[in-house]
Amino acid sequence: MSDVSVAPVAPTGTLRRLMRRKLALFGLAIIAVVLGGAVFAPWIAPYAPDDQLFEGLTLFGEPMPPSGDFLMGTDLLGRDLFSRMLYGAQTSLIIGVVANGIALLIGTLVGVVAGFVRGWVGAVLMRFTDLMMAFPALLLAICLAAIFQPSLWIVAMVIALVNWVQTARVVYTETTSLAEREFIAAERTLGASQTRILFKHILPHLVPTLIVWGTLGISVTVLLEATLSFLGVGVQPPTPSWGNIIFENQTYFQAAPWLVFIPGAAILLLALAFNLVGDALRDVLDPTQRGND
């Protein structure tokens, strides 16, 4: 290997080694397509997402299957599904990346502090986490969403607030075992401060776990948003999201399968793409795996 001597943090080296993995490249490509679609939706979309087209329904008022005019067909109200998928990607990416990212951040912070500081601070934090876990997440989300005026960002925040608990639990367990490791004791004998041990020696070891939880969380949060939308407390119609496209149309699944299949496949592919990239990133960032790619 030519780049063994490259410093571990050098982004070029990491990216280069990431690109060398075929599966990671595949994942990156999907993410790039979805991201491009979301950002350039106004220019790419052939129709407005909430435009109920007269020619979008058959003479009997049924949705149109995919065709040259409507790449992905139309929905029950005669709206172009391809356009709705593009705009829906904006919503789903915000939920899957931002909401999930915030949840991960809160979970990591709570878990690491509780696991490293221990004592009564740790006990209070972890009992609160247990309480949150025992509470039905959906019920909590409905309550929160009902109190605030539903909007995309409120929904993202609500999802973040109910999804951090699992991360906190896992990070807590891992932090407590890391804190017992001998190299942490060695750092203490060198006179290292608590913050230095936490940020230089404990957090880097949590990265693999966080990557796994972060990528798993994407599909969970996208689907939670869909559930909330279905119950009327999520993203409000006519704003499209991949989740509410599925839920709006699920009763017509047999008559118009593309209305469920296409957004479902999109969610699956996006989650898979993040998983593949996350896996590869975990290996690339691990110095003990060097030379295996």
Partner 1 sequence: MMTTHTATAPSGATAALLSVRDMTVSVRDRGVVRPLVAGLSFELYPGETLAIAGESGSGKSITSLALMGLLPNNVTVTSGQALLDGVNLPDLPEARMRAWRGAKLAMIFQEPMTSLNPVHTIGSQMTEAIRAHEAVSRGAARSAAIEALRRVRIPEPERRMKQYPHELSGGMRQRVMIAMALALRPALLIADEPTTALDVTVQREVLDLLRELQAETGTAIILITHDMGVVAESADRVVVMRQGRMIESAPVDTLFTAPKQEYTRALLSAVPRLGSGAARAKPLPPTASVPVARLVGAQVHFDIGANFLGRPTHRVHAVEGATLDIQPGETFGLVGESGCGKSTIAKALVGLVPHAGHVEVDGKALGGLTSLGRRQICRDVQMVFQDPMAALDPRMTVGEAVAEPLLIHGIGTAAERHARAADLFARVGLTQDQMTRYPHEFSGGQRQRICVARALALKPKLIICDESVSALDVSVQAQVLDLLEELQAEMGVAYLFISHDMAVVENVVDRLAVMYLGQIVEMGTRDQVFGNPQHSYTRRLLDAVPIPDPQRKRPPQPQRPGDLPSPIWPIGKAPARVHLRDIGDNHLVAQEA
Contact between 5 and partner 1 by CB under 8 A: the answer reads: yes
DSSP labels, 56-76: GB-TTSPBPPS-SSSTT-B-T
The CB-of-43 to partner 1 minimum distance in angstroms stands at: 44
How far apart, in Å, are the Cα atoms of 69 and each of 56, 73, 83? Answer: 9, 8, 12
Binds partner 1 by CB under 8 A, chosen from 20, 22, 127, 196: 196
Sketch the per residue contact string, 269 through 288, with partner 1: x for CB under 8 A, - otherwise: -----------------xxx
Show the tokens assigned to 80: 């172009």
Task: Output 11 or 191, the one with its CB closest to partner 1.
Answer: 191
Q: Give the Cα separation of 254 and 261 in Å (integer).
A: 11
Task: Output 146 or 196, the one with its CB closest to partner 1.
Answer: 196
> Which residues ranging from 136 to 195 are in contact with partner 1 (CB under 8 A)?
181-183, 185-193
Task: Output 65 or 208, the one with its CB closest to partner 1.
Answer: 208
Handedness of CA 53, 55, 56, 59 (dihedral sign): positive
Show the tokens assigned to 69: 């005019």
Task: Output 2 or 182, the one with its CB closest to partner 1.
Answer: 182
The site that binds partner 1 (CB under 8 A) totals a number of residues, namely 25
Binds partner 1 by CB under 8 A, chosen from 8, 36, 42, 232: 8
Q: Give the Cα separation of 213 and 208 in Å (integer).
A: 9
Angle at 104 between CA 10 and CA 138, to 5 degrees: 155
Q: Residues in the chain, how many?
A: 293
Which residues are at the interface with partner 1 (CB under 8 A)?
4-5, 7-8, 181-183, 185-193, 196, 200-201, 204-205, 286-288, 290
